[in-house]
Amino acid sequence: MADNENARKLRPYPSPSHIEAKSHERQPWEVTITGDVGDRQSDLLARLVDVPLRSKGVIYFDSGGGSVYAGLALATLIRTRELRATAVVVGECSSAALMPFAACEKRFVTPFSTMLFHPMRWQSEEDVRLEEATEWARHFKQLEGDLDGLLAKLFPMDAALLETWTRPGRFVSGKELAEHDLAKLFDPFELEKPWQEIR
């Protein structure tokens, strides 16, 4: 009887590794989207799948864009996995990289951040057949309109403003993006604790 009493009172003490793991889980994860998003698509998608579902993290952007499908896939994954992602543009965030940037829950830019908005660019193989080119032209026109609408919804921003930035194309500064309430401006070169600002 006494042994049973003691057994009920005793509880296993968590190991140091268990405590460390729990502490690590509370920290926001960090991912970088750099270079051509198409070239790094597999790696980036895998990295976003590796982080816990509905978890909090920071995505640093320094990308000139790339494949529009890669940008769309990243944005879709961020929203599908309900990631509480904070985007920080540490350099450039242009073209296809704007889609995952807009998909983030919070967005930060510095006074030196640059974003290039422009229309989708035609890409095809050199030996493409006439029938394929015709179908691609039809699909291209529809896709361009659909993605413009999606980008305006994700930010969210006025479709007319997006149109003026996109056609024929325009570099937008971090300050200007913040002025339109599409991101928050912060200066890591002036703040004493910039990490506390974005986390």
In this predicted structure, what is the pLDDT of residue 134?
Answer: 80
In this predicted structure, what is the pLDDT of residue 20?
Answer: 38
| Weakest-pLDDT range from 44-53, 72-81, 83-92, 121-130 | 121-130
Cα–Cα dist 121/126, whole Å: 15
Full domain range(s) for residue 193: 28-198
On whether residue 164 sits in a domain, the answer given is yes
Q: For 51-182, where are the alpha helices, taking DSSP H only?
A: 68-80, 98-103, 130-154, 159-166, 174-179
Domain tally, the chain: 1
In this predicted structure, what is the pLDDT of residue 19?
Answer: 38
On whether residue 22 sits in a domain, the answer given is no
Q: Is the separation of the CB atoms in 117 and 170 below 8 Å? A: yes
CATH number at residue 35: 3.90.226.10
On whether residue 68 sits in a domain, the answer given is yes
pLDDT digits (tens, 9 = 90+) for 64-89: 999 999 999 999 999 999 999 999 99
In this predicted structure, what is the pLDDT of residue 18?
Answer: 40
- Put simply, whether the predicted model's pTM sits higher than 0.85 gets the answer no
pLDDT digits (tens, 9 = 90+) for 137-172: 787 788 889 999 999 999 999 999 999 999 999 999
129 or 113: which leads in pLDDT: 113
16: Cα within 13 Å, side-chain hemisphere? 0
pLDDT digits (tens, 9 = 90+) for 2-29: 555 555 555 554 444 343 344 345 579 9
Cα–Cα dist 34/107, whole Å: 16
On whether residue 99 sits in a domain, the answer given is yes
Reading the block at residue 172, the tokens are 């937008």
On whether residue 23 sits in a domain, the answer given is no
130: Cα within 13 Å, side-chain hemisphere? 0
* One-letter amino acid of 16: P
